[in-house]
Chains A and B, each alone.
Chain A
Amino acid sequence: MKTLLAGLAVLAPLSTPALAETFRWAASGDVITYDPNAQVDSFTQSVQHMVFDPLVRRNKELKLEPALATSWEIVEPTRWRFKLRQGVKFHEGQPFNADDVVATIQRQIDPGARNRENLSAVTGVEKVDDYTVDLILRGPYPLLLNDLAAIYIMSKPWMVEHDALKPGNTATGVVTYANNHANGTGPFKLKSYEPDSRSVFEVNKEWWDTPQHNLTEVEFRPIASDATRVAALLSGEVDMIAPVPLQDVDRIAATEGLKVVQDPSLRTIMLALNFKKELHAAPGVPNPMLNVKVRQALWHAIDLNTIQKRLMRGKSRVAGMLVAPAVTGHDDAIDVPLEYDVDKAKALLAEAGYPDGFKTGLACSNDRYIADEQICLAISSMWAKIGVQVDLSVESKTTYFPRMDNGELDVYMLGWASLPAMDGYSVLQALLATNDGTYGGSNPNGLSDPRIDALTRSASVELDETKRVDMLKEAFRITHDEALFIPLHQQPVAWAMSNKVDIPQFPDEYVRPWFAQVKK
């Protein structure tokens, strides 16, 4: 024991060199796995990005830029050719070349990959030469680069060595070496991973890109309890926490040596409506919401500015459409909510034949979105003013989302970030298109508009970007005119950190320590 302690004492100065800049941060959840193909969770993906590089990545403005691919061209509508970066090395020393890309893409589109749908347009991959690969597509597909930004390149020799050429998959119980080890080409190397405790990363000195950070080490700690996470920041155990519980924002901002950074994120919070023949809350009676005037009345009756000021403490961004400004397909002309006007709402209801209102369900989670429960309570009392009686139900996300998926709800709250593609097509494809098994995966309540369906299908194959964006905007204009959804706001993402830390915040909520500066 004595020798052990003596040994530690000798080693201690070596393990913390004088110039070490460690960035320690804590989040509420943990990385689920370090296997890029075994996850579908955007937080896990964001942390994995520290270790892995994709072929194309997002820059500081969240625009796509070359990463492991230096250039690309569309040889045929179904064949894209990528030129790869030369001289790149994996963390364990393997040189990067076309074989790695081929093996990674094959692993990604393997039927056993949990997130194979993140690259669903790709059917095959071919090596042209050591630094050129072709991706073969199912058909013309405009969002290939967006999709590739979330596909992390792994080393083929490493996967062969550790028997991990096939992806891990929780659903089928396949676990590989890649689950808790990671060998990428990214800015940081994964040094250790203890689930629910911490992950430690050291800087990759041989990174192909010029570092914009001054770090030597990053320590990530999951701390699930809000109060404990705040305590860890206040006590100086971590340099940054993300997210900050909204009720602690003011207190932390007032603490010397700490600052809070918060901006609206990409996540748009909205109310989805029931388009079936009857409402669950009023069986046997025709569904009033099938009338556009009723839907507009419901929208007019919500005081969005009060929700923004009171419940969101001025930190959210009031929205009139379903995607945030940074998402392709956003249009200022459409992003205008129907103004708060109780009289107009009442008049519309009367015109629609409901002068005394009607009865509907309103459902919310209480642990998924910021102030979700309070927002629903506020809306139910706002709707009471126009005679709409609300049958309110609030529950935990674990039971709420399954009920939503089963179409058991009338009006319900929903948040959509359009990640990882950051494109309006995500909303069209999942929320607005008619549910037919392929499209409308999150549209369980009978919403069906043939114009939107047609626009969604043509946008999915249109390679001319201007034309494609116009299609997205047209679909969002119809959504707005018909009041198919009631958008509320983009909720804020709030981080708190020590004054010594300088790190940009992004609306996609990714923490990107490769842009971090830590002062001594």
Chain B
Amino acid sequence: MLRLFSMRLLQAILVMIAVTAIAFIMFRFVGDPVSAMVREGATQAEKDALRLALGLDKPLLVQFLDFVGKVLTGDFGTSFRYQQPVASLLMSRLPATLELVVVATVMALAIGIPLGVLCALKPNSFLSRLTQATTLVGVSMPTFVTGLLLILVFAVNLRWLPSSGRGDLVDLGLWQTGFLTVSGLKSLILPSITLALFQLTLIMRLVRSEMIDVLSSDYIRFAFARGLPRAYIYGRLALRNALMPVVTVTGLQIGQLVAFAIVTETVFQWPGMGLLFTNAVGYPDVPVLAAYLLFVGFLFVMINMIVDILYTLIDPRLRTR
């Protein structure tokens, strides 16, 4: 067991090194921050001095090793654009992204599961067909189109909800939350719907197919034969079993949501890590880009590692190797 764990850890470390290396090679092509950072009319000497101060004159490999060395001591450098240590910058943006992701996930589960059950129980009803068709449209539409449509309807035409921003925040010390103010909650609605849509569709379809599977199994038929109440059979016996894969997928999807909140955050000017990343690409703010990619890479590696280990614990057959 220990050997297995250390193998997984080693793999994770290798993946992280690869992610960092790829990120660094990419920055060669993202551009040169010097031209964005100097003033109009800067002399060649000014540009050279800045390049020197940023360490951009060194060979890429040296820059890479410098960066890795600093990261190992917990130092991600200073953002070129925001003039703050990158680590604290990422931490200050984390609450916004996590709140968005949590609300989107809850929304996707709260709507996706009942809809999936409905589509499984009454596959031929008008409502089921409509649900399936609409979610298919919803999921095939690009995120920014969904976002802009929602803004057009609910912010511009109806004026019910704000089109951008996070509203008023309450500072809880380490965490700034929008959950405690009316404008904060209102601001959450449109971006979380936008972000939830894909996940909602996924969950709905998964619940539907699992439900159909389970409902055709023997123990459900026996339960019917015994004359147990329908609500008990569907709710307790069928749905509980159908939900097992949903839990796994939802867990894996959280990593996706954090990483792909980028588009939603940009459309809604949601001040989370995704917006930080988009702005960093345009600048180009190399320390932020590198730290963000490391963070997302770390998130995925961790989630996958935990899932793998859990699987091995659950299923002894995977341990025999």
Contact = CB atoms under 8 A, between A and B. Distances in A.
Bind each other: yes
B164 A195 contact: no
A437 interface: yes
B41 A223 contact: no
A284 interface: no
A40 to B, nearest CB: 4
B3 to A, nearest CB: 42
A225 B267 contact: yes
Contacts of A197: 165-166, 269, 271
Interface residues of A, number: 61
B41 A224 contact: no
A417 B30 CA distance: 26
B164 A232 contact: yes
A170 B78 contact: yes
B23 interface: no
A438 B53 CA distance: 18
A416 B165 CA distance: 33
Interface residues of B, number: 56
Contacts of A32: 81-83
Given A38-B83, A196-B271, A232 B77 contact: no
Interface string A145-163: 0000000000000000000
A30 B84 CA distance: 15
B42 interface: yes
A436 B267 CA distance: 44
B308 to A, nearest CB: 36
Contact of B269 (A38, A41, A222, A234): A222
Interface string B283-303: 110000000000000000000
B191 to A, nearest CB: 11
A430 B42 CA distance: 7
B23 to A, nearest CB: 16
Interface string A21-38: 000000000101101001
Nearest to A35: B83
A416 B180 CA distance: 47
Given A171-B50, A441-B43, A231 B165 contact: no
Contact of B278 (A224, A228, A398, A435): A224
A170 B83 contact: yes
Contacts of A405: 32, 34-35, 47
Interface string B155-171: 11001001111100100
Contacts of A435: 44
Interface in A102-131: 115, 117-118
Contacts of B44: 435-438, 440-441
A212 interface: no
B281 to A, nearest CB: 7
B91 to A, nearest CB: 13
A437 B43 contact: yes
A224 B266 contact: yes
Which of A118, A221, A402, A441 gathers most chain B CB within 10 Å? A441
B45 A231 contact: no
Given A172-B53, A224-B269, A225-B266, A398 B30 contact: yes
B185 to A, nearest CB: 12
Contacts of B32: 398, 401-402, 405
Contacts of B162: 235, 237
B165 A198 contact: yes
Contact of A426 (B29, B41, B85, B151): B41
A448 interface: no
A507 interface: no
A42 B39 CA distance: 8
Given A171-B54, A235-B163, 7 more contacts: A42-B40, A197-B166, A401-B35, A405-B32, A405-B47, A430-B43, A438-B43
Closest 6 CB pairs of A and B: A398-B31, A402-B32, A40-B39, A173-B78, A401-B35, A441-B43
Interface of B: 29-32, 34-47, 50, 53-54, 77-85, 148, 151-152, 155-156, 159, 162-166, 169, 180, 266-269, 271, 275-276, 278-279, 281-284
27 contacts: A40-B38, A42-B40, A115-B39, A173-B85, A175-B78, A175-B84, A223-B164, A223-B269, A225-B266, A225-B269, A227-B267, A228-B164, A231-B151, A234-B156, A235-B156, A235-B162, A396-B31, A398-B30, A398-B31, A399-B30, A404-B35, A405-B47, A419-B40, A430-B43, A437-B45, A438-B43, A441-B42
